[in-house]
């Protein structure tokens, strides 16, 4: 009787998994703000009001040069948006932030007002991982915020497994690593050994400002300047922490699963 009641209750609830990417993406919380956009043409000559308010030194404007914003090291606090008198830095409300190359997260130069979104894997790698991707998550000194938002993807509402993406316990069973945290000195050896244990060919994903560039800990002796100085990175997903939708979008872009989708 208990089994029948359970089945009946589940049928009453219906499907709890979101339709995205076959349907519209869920809305970001009002306080999130999404990605940032930089319009250097609006910058006032000699103005550097946004530079000192950035807690991670993600904004630079050397001399009289162009404003540069490193989204990889940005924690999206929006302090620069409030400080800019010319509104040259604005929030877009866009969840799409992942990039395949580190330089694609550098905003400011002409043609780089917004992040250049990740392209799909090429050729053999896409054939190998496009239908099935197993990841070993490595928390390399993180605060657990990025890890928590990654865990959300395994819930019934998101159901990451429907895309063939799963997290595994052993690097020997994995196709790649998903790294969080600034890579503390104490975690350096563990990260290197975990990377070496993953069979070739393999992928590496740097998740969050810490794993990409050190985040709030950038430049401090106990940590590295992100993961890319230790292992090659194939996908960068910025944020502090990245929203689950941003993480999912980056993974699906890398695997070529958003081609032809509305809003891709």
Indicate the number of domains in the chain.
Answer: 2
Instruction: Classify residue 31: in a domain, yes or no.
Output: no
Kindly report whether the global pTM for this prediction surpasses the value 0.75: yes
- Does residue 211 sit in the same domain as residue 247? yes
CATH number at residue 218: 3.40.50.12280
In a domain, 11, yes or no: no
Beta strands in 147-245 (DSSP E): 165-167, 176-180, 203-207, 235-237
In this structure, the answer to whether residues 153 and 236 fall within a common structural domain is yes
Do 157 and 230 lie in a common domain? yes
Q: Read off the CATH number of the domain in which 65 is found.
A: 3.30.70.20
Q: Looking at the domain assignment, is residue 60 inside a domain?
A: yes
The domain in which residue 146 lies consists of: 123-254
Residues 133 and 182 in one domain: yes
Q: Mind listing the pLDDT tens digit of every residue in the chain (264 residues)?
A: 557 777 766 677 667 788 899 998 998 988 899 999 999 888 888 888 999 999 999 999 877 678 899 999 999 999 999 999 999 999 999 999 999 999 999 998 777 888 999 999 998 999 999 999 999 999 999 899 999 999 999 999 999 999 999 999 999 999 999 999 999 999 999 999 999 999 999 999 999 999 999 988 888 889 888 899 899 999 999 999 999 999 999 999 999 998 766 567
């Amino acid at each position: 009787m208990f089994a029948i009641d359970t089945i009946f209750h589940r049928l009453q609830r219906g499907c709890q998994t979101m339709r995205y990417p076959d349907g519209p993406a869920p809305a970001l919380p009002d306080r999130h703000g999404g990605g940032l956009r930089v319009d250097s043409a609006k910058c006032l000559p000699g103005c550097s009001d946004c530079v000192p308010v950035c807690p991670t030194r993600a904004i630079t404007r050397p001399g009289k040069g162009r404003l540069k914003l490193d989204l990889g090291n940005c924690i999206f606090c929006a302090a620069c948006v409030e400080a800019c008198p010319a509104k040259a830095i604005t929030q877009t409300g866009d969840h799409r932030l992942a990039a395949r190359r580190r330089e694609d997260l550098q905003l400011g130069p002409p043609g780089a007002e917004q992040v250049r979104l990740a392209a799909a894997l090429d050729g053999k790698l896409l054939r190998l991982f496009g239908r099935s991707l197993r990841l070993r998550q490595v928390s390399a000194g993180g605060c657990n915020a990025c890890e928590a938002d990654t865990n959300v993807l395994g819930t019934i509402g998101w159901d990451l497994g429907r895309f063939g993406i799963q997290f595994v316990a052993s690097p020997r069973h994995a196709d790649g690593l998903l790294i969080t945290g600034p890579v503390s000195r104490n975690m350096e050896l563990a990260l290197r050994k975990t990377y070496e244990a993953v069979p070739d060919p393999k992928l590496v994903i740097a998740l969050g400002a810490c794993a990409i560039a050190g985040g709030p800990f950038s430049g401090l002796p106990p940590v590295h300047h992100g993961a890319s100085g230790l292992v090659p990175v194939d996908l960068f997903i910025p944020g502090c922490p990245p929203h689950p939708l941003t993480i999912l979008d980056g993974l699906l872009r890398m695997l070529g699963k958003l081609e032809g989708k509305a809003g891709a």
